[in-house]
Structure 1
Amino acid sequence: MCVDSVPPPPGRVTRRGVLAGAAALAGTAASLSAAPSAAAAPGHAPGSAAARVGDLVVEGGTLLDPATGDVTEDAVVVIRAGIVREAGARARVEIPDDAPRLDAHGRWVLPGLVDAHIHLNTAAEAREAVRQGATSARSGSTNFYQDVAVRELARQAPDLAPRLRAAGVFVTPDLGDTVLADPDLTPLARLKDGVRSAEALRRAVEVNLARGADVIKTRVNERAGLPEQDPLTQVYSYEQLSEIVAAARRGGKDVLCHSYSARGCDDAVRAGIRSLEHGVFVGERTLHDMRRRGTYFTPTLTAIAGLADSPDPVLAERGRRYLPVLKEAVRAAHSMGVNLVAGTDSSGGRIEPIGREVELMRASGLSALDAIRAATTRSAQLLGLQRTVGRLTRGFAGDAIVVGGDPLADVSVLKTPLHVVRAGFALKAFRFRL
């Protein structure tokens, strides 16, 4: 059965209702109504839909610029209306008298980190991600468009959520209960073979685009985190992946692809995906192709390492076996010049610190600076935010973390930020289990 006889998704007709439901599920509407009042952006009245922004001076710390590797001692970062106005050595920066101060003496100051693969289903998860240092992120999809709601929360109240690129719902053969997320997905529930035909694949992508997805998430293999599935089993062919990529590109969007097997990774890259997710058994030839095409690699080492701690013996064995293979793939990718980005693949209510992914990349053979770049400048490029995220310099977002030690000597300090600054607001960092 095909779906090409069904009219295309109307976008504005049902979008408001669909996203209102997503906001209710995510709890973002409640978060906005309960949030304390703050200054609105210039030109907007307090209490309007404009983002709340902050003024702040972060002074006295050692400032690291991931783009250049430059280190500036006794530095000052001046944030006005959520944007960096000046940053550098104290002697070269004019410090305003009327802005709140954050004392960073004896600490290191870095731009806020970017989690390039995370599943944020609730406002509470979004808030926790920020307080663990992820001030920007890319969604790995949600079941009912909760990430789109979280993105809107971040725009209006940036202190409550990371700046987010939303993926909407997963383009996968079996949508399951996700068909309940949107009236325009229900025709897909009647398909005997699931979302596999060219028409069905296009429909799934088009519905996501109509609901405001920034990227499209699909898969080529089954999941590693479910013991009953074999992550080396391929669920979409090269031709099907190409159909998804083509539909996304018609809407001006890129595709990230959940991948494990060597053939699956190769098919996904040849189909034109923007980033390969997980990629445990990616082959050398595929890595060379990724370098040539500019395809990004998000290994999600944190998620794979977490499998080894599972009480399920199948998952624990899978984690122990996969992690060293993936570390070697990361090392090989880096040596070939593939763009590596950091993503935790946090999901299920537990948000892992993005600093843990940096630590695992360092353990895979990257230098400390290159591992930090994977969670700052490189991820910012993937998200299309390279002019606003990943550095603390004039015109960039006023997002920062303050850590208790030298991250170039020990990247593990990134797992436990002492302070997090989001859009000029100094937030209390979480103290979480490691």
Structure 2
Amino acid sequence: MKCLSFLLLSAAAAMLPAAAQDAVIHVGHVLAVPGEGYLTGQTILVEGGRIVSITPGYTAPKDHPVIDLKKAFVLPGLIDSHVHITFEGGPATRLKGFEDSDVDAAFNGADFGRKTLMAGFTAVQDVGGGNDSVFGLRDAIARGAVPGPRIRASGRSIAVTGGHGDINGFAPKVMAAMTGGNICNGADDCRRAVRQQIKEGADLIKITATGGVLSNTAAGLEQQFSDEELAAIVEAAHSMGRKVTAHAHGKSGIDAALRAGVDSIEHGTFMDAGSVTLMKESGATLVPTVLAGATAAGWARTDPTFPEASRVKALQAGPLMLDMLRRAYSGGVNVAFGTDTGVSRHGDNAQEFALMVEAGFTPEAAIRAATVVASEHVQMAKDIGTLEPGKYADLIAVTKDPLKNVKELEDVDFVMKGGKVYKPLD
């Protein structure tokens, strides 16, 4: 299987653009550090895949090709802090879990990764996928075997038996034969699960602190790990240099995870003023995924194959997520852009921006959440998130001003990652 994967992934290299070349980029407007406004009439010098300088005016060294973006609006490559790059939701999703191998999932991920990159997202954090498929894809992209965004991955989420992240809703014999998350029960077993994930290649630890919408079980959306288990997970992860992010919808699970010291909350649907205070006191980051809530609620209303247990939870949680984000942002919570793409369609990630603006963000604040804040959240700020000397030449461009209409980012016109042009401006 590994030989087959290697051969097929190597063949995919034909999809790659030419190797990174030294270049100068003439830009009309550049949002070099989102939150600080545009610089105008600038030249970006790129060498060895990184930015060397950004200077006023248009210069053109004789030995460097020129990329003309003088009529465009340039900003750092976007970062999605919550994706599932190896699968995509839909009516056949539950069946696909039985049909697809890890190799299938990796190749699905290669296709989804290409779509994500072409949509302007040059880095993502994958929080919940098969270890072999997502770690293999992460490493293949990093070595240039296939095109895609930079990936930081948790691999399998850590869950309790029968909880969100386990296999639910099938016959017992079927569930016994399937692998869900990294399942643990009790503090010591949860320490073991954390260490196992790190051993197998996890960049961070993802836990399912509460029930989830898409798990086919009527187990609610509140706390599922005990306080002792949560404390053990955080202690084990932090002692081995890994952050912990918690899928959490219900207030009880959000607050318990924050008290245990998790670094971030995914979703946060039922957080209240007390949860906001806990988040600010702990310094935790919120990854809101409003697009996923809207998508799941849409399925619940229109898809007759949607499991009844999930339908109830989707209709309960989905409509609340926009108000949750409005409450968290106005309360001063640190917010990193994240979509839960894989629930929604890959390549549509930028639809989250309009939802953020509806929740009270300015367009520039929403972009900052997907660049500056997200780069810090995924621990890559020294290399990405802004356009500054020394950082990777990860940048995108659109032909109309996204600060006037953030939906412009739903149709990105130019993509460069690491000095390679993946999508040239027509």
- TM tier, shorter chain? 0.7 to 0.9
Deviation, 1:325, is 2.4
Provide the residue aligned with 1:43 in structure 2.
none
Choose from 415, 425, 432 the match for 2:420. Answer: 425
Q: Distance in 1 between matches of 2:248 and 2:45?
A: 42
Q: Which amino acid aligns with 2:9?
A: S
Q: Which residue is 1:102 aligned to?
A: 67
Specify which of 51, 71, 83 is matched with residue 38 of structure 2.
71
1:205 aligns with 2:197: no
> Is 1:129 equivalent to 2:120 in the alignment?
no
Give the whole-Å Cα distance in 1 for the aligned partners of 2:344 and 2:333: 31
Q: Is the 8 A contact 1:28 1:150 kept in 2?
A: no
C-alpha deviation, 1:277, in angstroms: 0.2
SS of equivalent residue, structure 1 residue 107? strand
Q: Aligned in 2, Cα 1:107/1:375: closer, same or farther, shift over 3 Å?
A: same
Q: 1:360 aligns with which of 341, 355, 372?
A: 355
Within 5 Å, which residues of 2 pair with 1:2-401? 30-36=8-14, 53-91=20-58, 94-121=59-86, 122-157=109-144, 160-174=147-161, 195-226=184-215, 228-310=217-299, 311-312=302-303, 319=314, 321-347=316-342, 350-401=345-396
Decide which of 397, 404, 416 is 1:409's aligned counterpart. 404
Distance in 2, Cα, partners of 1:28 & 1:241 = 38
Query: Is 1:86–1:394's contact at 8 Å kept on the other side of the alignment?
Result: yes
Post-superposition offset of 1:222: 1.8
- Measure how far apart 1:350 and its partner are: 3.2
AA in 2 matched with 1:347 = G
SS at match of 2:29: strand
Could you tell me how far apart the structure 2 residues matched to 1:82 and 1:396 are? Answer: 9
Q: 1:208 to 1:54 in 2, by over 3 A?
A: farther
Change (3 A) 1:28 1:107: farther
Q: Name the counterpart of 1:7.
A: none
Q: Aligned in 2, Cα 1:143/1:67: closer, same or farther, shift over 3 Å?
A: same
CA distance in 2 between partners of 1:383 and 1:411 (Å): 23
Give the SS at the match of 1:218.
strand
Q: Provide the C-alpha distance between the structure 1 equivalents of 2:189 and 2:78, rounded to a whole number of angstroms.
A: 37
Sort the Cα spacing of 1:38 and 1:366 in 2 relative to 1 into closer, same or farther, 3 A.
closer
Query: Retained in 2: the 8 A contact 1:56–1:78?
Result: yes
Higher mean Cα deviation, 77-86 or 297-306? 77-86
Letter paired with 2:224: V
How many Å separate the matches in 2 of 1:426 and 1:401? 10
Unaligned runs of at least 5 residues, structure 1: 1-19, 41-51, 178-185
Residues 334-360 of structure 1: per-residue CA shift (max 9 Å, x gap): 222211011111126931433212221
In 1, Cα distance between equivalents of 2:160 and 2:120: 34
Distance 1:234-1:364 versus aligned 2 partners, 3 A rule? same
Give ranges in structure 2 of 5+ residues lacking alignment: 87-108, 168-175
Amino acid at match of 2:127: G
- 1:45 — aligned with what? none
- Tell me if structure 1 keeps the 8 A contact 2:33–2:387: no
CA contact (8 A) 1:78 1:85 kept: yes
The 1-side partners of 2:295 and 2:284 are apart by: 26
Return the alpha-carbon distance in structure 2 between the equivalents of residues 28 and 285 of structure 1.
Answer: 50
Partner deviation per Cα, 1:160-189 (whole Å, 9 max, x = no partner)? 121121102111124768xxxxxxxx9x99
Letter in 2 for 1:165: R
> CA offsets, 1:188-211, max 9 Å, x none?
99xxxx521223212211111112
Letter in 2 for 1:115: D
How far apart in 1 are the matches of 2:329 and 2:223?
26
Counterpart contact for 2:131–2:155, Cα < 8 Å: yes
Q: Could you state the TM-score of these two structures normalised by the residue count of structure 2?
A: 0.82
State the 1:143 CA deviation: 2.1
* Contact 2:13/2:145 (8 A) holds in 1: no
Aligned length: 383
Q: CA deviation at 1:238?
A: 1.9
Q: CA 1:210–1:90 in structure 2 vs 1: closer, same or farther (change >3 Å)?
A: same
Where 2:317 maps in the other structure, the secondary structure is: helix
C-alpha deviation, 1:309, in angstroms:
2.2
Query: Relative to 1, partners in 2 of residues 1:95 and 1:32: Cα closer, same or farther, differing over 3 Å?
Result: farther
C-alpha displacement at 1:318, in angstroms?
5.1
